[in-house]
Structure 1
Amino acid sequence: MTPTPEDDINPPASYPDVLADVAEATSLREGREGVAGIVRAVASEGPLALRDLARLVRMPLPVVSAVRRELETRGLFERGQGVGLTPTGRDFAAEKLGLALKPVDPRETATPRPRRMLARQADDAGDGLDPLLVPLLPAMEAHVADGPAVDVTLDQAPCTAETALRRALAMHRAGALAGRRILLIGDDDSLSVAIGLVAQAVDARPRRLTVLELDPGRIAHLERGAGRHGIVFEPVAHDLRDPLPAALVGRFDVLATDPPYTLDGMGLFVSRGIEALEAGPGLKLFLSFADLAPDDRLDLQQRLGELGLAILCMRPSFNHYGGASILGSAGQFIELETTSRTRPATTGERFDTPIYTGEVRPRERSYRCTECGLATPVGTGERFATIEALKAAGCPRCSGQVFARQRGGRPLRP
């Protein structure tokens, strides 16, 4: 693992009070995170016409106007040919929000940024790879190819290299990379590496990037990738069925997870993630889950609503997985926001309800050894939970390692 700076390990617990003060002064329902989003938009895209700023942050024009006035009063914004940052505002954005700002170009401050420049904020969820990602793809593909064997008992089904990069870019365009404190819960998709590559390409490095992962093989894989590309991240070996480590509670402002393919598994991972987030509305969560039938999709939305999360955007079949037949090799990517009613469902206690597909819907299969013909059952509760485990151990009778799936009928015997 690349050494993590102290500021990344122990970031400030919350944004400076000026954000909360402005949110209170304007009765902003989005809270301090809403004010921070406006500052971020101006820092990355300004100077901006007020109407373009309102469209970019998805808030009504009068609301954004009121926030702008308050930030002007505090010396962070200035009004010339559009809404821009003052020198004090630039210092604030760099020091308090962790943004890497480019030097001021007098030609850009003279006129507001044209609307066409804002088009890159739109999400590219269609076919094809964004040109920004094309030069990153070979490195990401090489990293994915170096990954360990998949552990199906943990519902592992790594997404493609292209999908990981597209997720990271979508997060960046949602304002969820630069200067952010990001927690990834489970990372067999290597999203941490994709975030590192994209953040370097667009100069939008997170303040902190932490990964909770149960599989030691996956952690070692992520560390190798981070080391190759100079990516700073903090791996934490942890089973999400156990309570969240106290040192992580309330320390992040972005969450991303691709949880087990059960509603209970999803609910647990997202609930633990909510514990790790600061309190307050407007914080970003990114959830990858299977494409679902309408009734199942409604159940998913109900679970998310019970956690107090608001769905901002759902992208069906955005994610593509290599060989994940249980998902149909595709899944949805959901962008959510916290609200004033967001609460975790489980805190400070062990979660013993089954969360993995093999536990919830156990399937027993039988595999015949091609050497001696012995049929061995494989599945949850059996001596071998997966065919991979059976192959690694060898046939119980002859130690053979080649097996054929037994499909119906009586098991074949020599």
Structure 2
Amino acid sequence: MDVQQIAEQVHQKTQVETTVRDVEKVMSGLARTSHFWEIVCASQKPFNVVAEIVEAMRSRGLVNIGEQGDIILTPEGEKFLSDNRIFAKKDYTCPTCEGRGIWREALSELAQKFDEVTVDRPEAILDYDQGYVTTRTVVSRIALIAERGDLEGKKLLVLGDDDLLSIAAGLSGLPEEVVVLEIDDRLVEYINKKARELGLPVKAEKYDFRDKLPEQYVGRFDTFNTDPPETLEALDVCMTRGLTGLRGEGCAGYFGLTRTESSLKKWNLFQQMLVNKFNVAITDIIHEFNHYVNWDYLLGSIRDDYAFVQVKPRLNWYRSSMYRIEVLSGFEKRENKPMPCELYIDEEALIYKPDNK
């Protein structure tokens, strides 16, 4: 039995391309921590791939599963890692900026104000695959967009806003206008209520990504931000809507993409889409920029066939890299039309279960 055999077994079971290096990275994460969600975070591999690698190790006697769901290396497992020269994952992340490369203490005032005014925010719900980022993340995102020259005096389009980025942007006093297009009635009402109370240049409207962009918003904005679902179809739709909303050359889009629900194969296909279909440049990819607050519905929405998966997370494990794209000369807006598609479910999705096939 070797690492290659595990990779082949996991590929066959998940239908997600799985390499020897993928298996090694999951094992490296396991050598560092016994907690499943921390292994997912450390390995940067799709959730279902991580689960199947751990199960493959359990079935071979390399790990045991404790009563609390801990994944514990056996003596055989420790020898296997040693023989294959697999070492515990290292972490040298800057504790101040949390690895983003963006933070100044001057931002603490905005973070505090944001926490104060959003204390009554709606909770994330499964209906729209919601999960919002930490306060430190949302303020860092505002700082990043501003630093790149895409916020001050600019018009910002926010496609989906359970993060409440629009409120943070309004509180910063930087954008000329912020428009939120959001499918959740609760968030539309909440954002508009806060904007009225605080006198922010922000308004929200109900909108489904699959519908064409409202005509009054075509070519109106300098910048867009979105936190898209991660099927390739959904990524196509979200980029189409965001880019259709931009004025043209030099305008920018910001969005997150995980490794938990998107393999590097999907990253590659998506990057080809950005460059070849949309004619934009990828100017930034900032690793694990976005940290998400753990959402209450997690364990009820994921696979329950392995006990080690059904364990409450101990840290903000779900993270995404921040992309910035910029529109090039010769950019042509996509046809503004309805785009029916599957937004949330594919073989790499967190909420995927075997019976979804």
By the TM > 0.5 criterion, same fold?
yes
Give distance in 2, aligned partners of 1:128 and 1:285.
18
Whether the aligned pair in 1 keeps the contact of 2:176 and 2:201 (CA below 8 Å) is no
Of the three residues 273, 279, 287, the one matched with 1:303 is 273
Change (3 A) 1:144 1:320: farther
Q: Say whether residues 1:239 and 2:213 are aligned partners.
A: no
Give distance in 2, aligned partners of 1:128 and 1:240.
30
Q: Any idea what SS the aligned residue of 1:266 has?
A: helix
Give distance in 2, aligned partners of 1:163 and 1:236.
24
CA RMSD of aligned residues (A): 2.9
Give distance in 2, aligned partners of 1:126 and 1:228.
32
**Residue matched to 1:316:** 287
Aligned length: 239
Whether the aligned pair in 2 keeps the contact of 1:312 and 1:336 (CA below 8 Å) is yes
Give distance in 2, aligned partners of 1:124 and 1:308.
32
TM-score by length of 1: 0.52
Q: Say whether residues 1:220 and 2:189 are aligned partners.
A: yes
Q: Any idea what SS the aligned residue of 2:290 has?
A: strand
**Residue matched to 1:332:** 321
Q: Any idea what SS the aligned residue of 1:317 has?
A: strand
Of the three residues 338, 350, 357, the one matched with 1:350 is 338
Whether the aligned pair in 2 keeps the contact of 1:153 and 1:358 (CA below 8 Å) is no
Give distance in 1, aligned partners of 2:211 and 2:130.
19
Whether the aligned pair in 2 keeps the contact of 1:354 and 1:360 (CA below 8 Å) is no
Alignment of 1:9-408 (within 5 A): 125-126=99-100, 129-198=103-172, 200=173, 205-279=174-248, 281-291=249-259, 292-305=262-275, 306-323=277-294, 328-345=317-334, 347-357=335-345, 363=352
How far does residue 245 in structure 1 lie from its aligned partner after superposition? 0.9
How far does residue 171 in structure 1 lie from its aligned partner after superposition? 0.6
After the TM superposition, list the runs of 4 or more consecutive aligned residues in structure 1 that deviate by more than 6 angstroms.
Answer: none
More contact order relative to length (CA 8 Å, sep ≥ 6): 2
Change (3 A) 1:181 1:126: closer
How far does residue 354 in structure 1 lie from its aligned partner after superposition? 0.8
Change (3 A) 1:124 1:157: closer
Unaligned ranges ≥5, structure 1: 1-122, 366-378, 382-414
Unaligned ranges ≥5, structure 2: 1-96, 303-315
How far does residue 139 in structure 1 lie from its aligned partner after superposition? 2.4
What is the CA deviation profile of residues 154-186 of structure 1, one whole-angstrom value per residue up to 9, with x for unaligned ones?
121111111111101111111111111111111
| Worse-matched range after superposition: 235-244 or 136-145 | 136-145
How far does residue 348 in structure 1 lie from its aligned partner after superposition? 3.2
Percentage identity across paired residues of the two chains: 26
Give distance in 1, aligned partners of 2:272 and 2:279.
10
